[in-house]
Structure 1
Amino acid sequence: MEDAEQLIKNLGHQSGVLLEDIPKIDLYIDQIIQLFETSFADAKRNEDEKILTKTMINNYAKGKLFYPVQNKKYTRNHIMLISLIYQMKSALSINDVKQVLDGLNKKALQQDLNLESFYESYLKLQQGNITIFTEGLKEQSKRVGQQVPNADDAQELEQVLLIASLVHTSNLYRRAAEKLVDDMKERGKAE
């Protein structure tokens, strides 16, 4: 089995849209797609994977996952919101993502929130998450190795066990996020 260090190295976990990557001018949809393709190139599972498409962005706009664009140009704020959507949609439903970002969109549109500062906080947390993940993956890999007896097929068994363990951990995090979304919905109904 690929050791944990090598697996971590090949994940492209440092990929993402940093604030300094976002131009200070408004962009057209094709430019946003190129920015994301470049920023997430190392995180692709294979060469054919599309990070972002025109259809995705148009569906996000139609679904009101971010506030309306002006003259088919997207601001820095839109790009930050699209980045958050990109990250969240792999674990949450689009309706849940909309619920989570609804208040953020309203505050950003009314200029009651400095979205750049918020996004910077998100990026800092993301870096901390990478550290936690790296340490956790090494520990899980070590524990898996202790569970599988030495046998001819030990490597395959370790790999299957690690995959199952990682999926379980992923599901726990997803369920925790969904619970927080549900709490947001309940608070919104109460207000």
Structure 2
Amino acid sequence: METILQELLAAMQQDEPIPFDAIPSIDLYMDQVTTYLDSLLSSNLRSQEDKVFTKTMINNYTKDGLLPSPVKKKYTRCHLMLLIMIFKLKQTLSISDIGQLLSPVIQNPDLLPSFYEQFCQIEQMQKQEFLSRTQQEFTEVQNLLAESQATEALRLYAMALAAQAASQKRLAEKILDQLQAESQK
């Protein structure tokens, strides 16, 4: 069971944040955007049938104000940075929470490159901390079980991770609610 976890962690280690310089500076059409982002982010999907983005999703993000409108049907580097962050954040936050979180850079695109770089640094830091902490936590779960129950360790650890993710998501939502309340004063 520990080998399975090691393989999963090694695969996660390979996923690196997409640096600002790796994002094309040329404007792209919708099909190019979906193809490009699919090539970068598909390793984060649970199954091969899932899509990183569809045209409809991107159009809805524009209608919802998460993305500025394309310029002559072309999407800029700023659009791509926002879409990458939306993809990462929508795993745990609602679209309205993401809109609130990204609103300062949506309203002032000049802030976006530095905000995106900070997002990537935080993502990398959190991933490294998670990977180093995971092995220790899994060992603790294994120690709770008798030898005959070792096969249940992964199942129990998955439940522990889900509970932790739920707590972290709830805290993020409470922080966003507090920020929203302060901005309305």
Match of 1:49 in 2: 50
Shift in CA distance, 123/97, structure 1 to aligned 2, threshold 3 Å = same
What is aligned with 2:72?
71
Matched, 1:179 2:174: yes
Gaps of 5+ in 1: none
Range that drifts further, 74-83 or 15-24 = 15-24
Q: Which position in structure 2 is the counterpart of 1:40?
A: 41
User: What is the RMSD computed on CA atoms of the aligned residues?
Assistant: 1.6
Question: Per-residue deviation at 1:2?
Answer: 4.3
- Which residue of structure 2 lines up, in the alignment, with residue 94 of structure 1? 95
Separation of aligned partners in 2, 1:106 and 1:149 = 56
Residues 1:40 and 1:12: Cα distance change in structure 2 (over 3 Å): farther
Show the counterpart of 1:9: 10
Counterparts of 1:92 and 1:41, CA distance in 2: 19
Deviations along 1:25-58, one digit per CA (max 9) or x if unpaired, are 1111111111111112322322212111111101
Q: 1:158 aligns with which of 148, 153, 156?
A: 153
Mapped contact 2:30–2:74 kept (Cα < 8 A): yes
SS in 2 for 1:38: helix
TM-score, L = length of structure 1:
0.89
**Runs of 4 or more above 6 Å deviation:** none
Aligned partner of 1:60 in structure 2 is: 61
Q: How many pairs were matched up?
A: 184
1:21 CA drift (Å): 2.5
Which residue in the other structure is 1:135 paired with? 132
Question: Any gaps of 5 or more consecutive residues in structure 2?
Answer: none
**Structure 1 residue corresponding to 2:115, chosen from 112, 118, 128:** 118
| 1:16 positional shift | 4.5
Partner Cα distance (1:15, 1:54) in 2: 25
CA distance in 2, matches of 1:184, 1:87: 21
CA distance in 1, matches of 2:16, 2:44: 6
Once residues 62 and 100 of structure 1 are traced to their aligned partners in structure 2, the CA distance between those partners, rounded to angstroms, is 17
- Asked if structure 2 preserves the Cα contact closer than 8 Å seen for 1:32 and 1:79, the reply is yes
Q: 1:5 to 1:154 in 2, by over 3 A?
A: closer
Structure 1 pair 45–116 and aligned structure 2 pair: CA distance change class (3 A)? same
Q: Which amino acid in structure 1 is aligned with residue 115 of structure 2? A: F
On the 8 A contact 1:67/1:105 being kept in 2, the answer is yes
**Amino acid aligned to 2:55:** K
CA distance in 2, matches of 1:49, 1:188: 36
Identity within the alignment, %: 30
Contact 1:16–1:39 (CA under 8 A) maintained in structure 2? no
Q: CA deviation at 1:12?
A: 6.4
C-alpha separation between the residues in 2 aligned to 1:94 and 1:169? Answer: 21
Counterpart contact for 2:105–2:115, Cα < 8 Å: no
Structure with the bigger percentage of helix: 2
Partners of 1:100 and 1:181 within 8 A in 2:
yes
Q: Deviations over 1:122-171 (max 9, x none)?
A: 111111111101012111111111011111x431x212211110101111
